[in-house]
Amino acid sequence: RVLEGMKFGIFSVSHEKLDQQFKCVKGIPENEDQAVIFSTSGTSGRPKAVPCTHTNILSNIDPIRKHVPGLLDRDSVILNVLPNFHSFGFNMSGMLALMSGCGQTLLPSFVPVEHTIDAIRSSGANCIIGVPTIMIFLLGALSKKGERLTGIKFVITGGDRLNVQMNLRSKEYLGTGILEGYGLTECSPVVAVGHSADDSRLGTVGQFFETYQVQIRDRDGRILDINDEGVLWVKGPSVVSGYFRDEVNTRERFVDGWFNTGDVVRVDRDGYVQIVDRATDIIIVSGFNVYPQEVENALCKHPAVQSAAVVGEKNSMTGEIVKAFVIVKEGKAATEKELVDYCKKNLAHYKVPRRIGFLEEFPVSAAGKILRRELRKIEIDK
């Protein structure tokens, strides 16, 4: 295949013109040399710079090929549509394909989604790796046209939580379920994923890679039983050593080789991992914990709701209240009262949103993650 790219100018740097602020790299890089610096998505705060070594990156690519049997072979073609300046796109779309010797369909963006669908068909892309936002657009467009894509071998998502309803829609329009994975930039990036679409358990992100040591701790750092609900800490060769020029956050999150993911999880007896929520996203209403994902899943079961995002809002009486935002499916309609009443039938009273706002799209990062900090700023008329 011939790649058709953008035209741009060519420049050269001779030794005589080389600015003295740059130095030539001598010798072959060592395994522990820094290979690349990624930025976190900054969904809950200011983005942090994360230096990854060659070992970090390679230690994450090899396990995924073993963890998901039959994921890639010489006939595989990965849809590389994620931003490759982000660790998920760079490692799991770009490097994974290169290290596996399979093809890639490279696109600068997944919008317009019709262009992406055409590219999948024309290039024979049969492995889709994306974030939930991409899947919402892709499946929505196929549903609207009443079309299906054939020949898709794997669909893997990560980077944000996947609504369980999307898995059913993927089977209908792509012919296969979704393997939901979990990872962080600091882990280069994948931590857990299912073994196959047939073996996946809805609502979980699969099982941990064998390369990780795992601990569940309480908020004070005390180690709990592996099957207790708590904050996930991980240790392994793909975990970076700290943040770039950020000693404060490095000391807080990296302790004796262990990394505090900041995510509250549950691990069942078979090792399947459920991401309960970000510790910083948990809403506390009158002393009760409310997990946004549970409320979002309830809202998304309403026939008019395409997707939902939930945040907390300060309240003088209860400490916080639940505030929700929804995107309504094209051709459907819903009112705030209708959705609140629906939630009352399916959730405990303190979990029911007190305010629901309607948006055409959610604020997202460059990597496609919902920016909850921006949602918290949006006022909903009372």
The answer to whether the beta carbons of residues 314 and 124 sit under 8 Å apart is no
What is the CB neighbour count within 10 angstroms for residue 344?
13
What pTM was computed for the model?
Answer: 0.77
* 212 vs 271: CA distance, rounded Å: 13
pLDDT of 250 above 60: yes
What is the CB neighbour count within 10 angstroms for residue 165?
16
Task: Give residue 328's identity as a one-letter amino acid code.
Answer: V
Q: Where are the domains of the chain?
A: 34-278, 283-377
Task: Give residue 109's identity as a one-letter amino acid code.
Answer: S
pLDDT at position 338 is 97
Query: How far apart, in Å, are the Cα atoms of 256 and each of 52, 236, 251?
Result: 18, 12, 10
Average pLDDT value over all residues in the chain: 89
The answer to whether the beta carbons of residues 86 and 367 sit under 8 Å apart is yes
283-377 placed in CATH 3.30.300.30 = yes
| pLDDT tens-place string over residues 105-139 | 999 988 899 999 999 999 999 999 998 889 988 99
* 181 vs 140: CA distance, rounded Å: 21
Residue 373: pLDDT band (50, 70, 90) is confident
Q: Which two tokens stand for residue 248?
A: 């404060």
Class of domain 34-278: alpha beta
Query: How far apart, in Å, are the Cα atoms of 104 and each of 62, 95, 118, 151?
Result: 18, 10, 15, 15
What is the CB neighbour count within 10 angstroms for residue 138?
26
Query: 320, 144, 154: which is closest to 310 by C-alpha?
Result: 320
| pLDDT tens-place string over residues 143-184 | 999 999 999 999 999 887 787 788 889 999 999 999 999 999
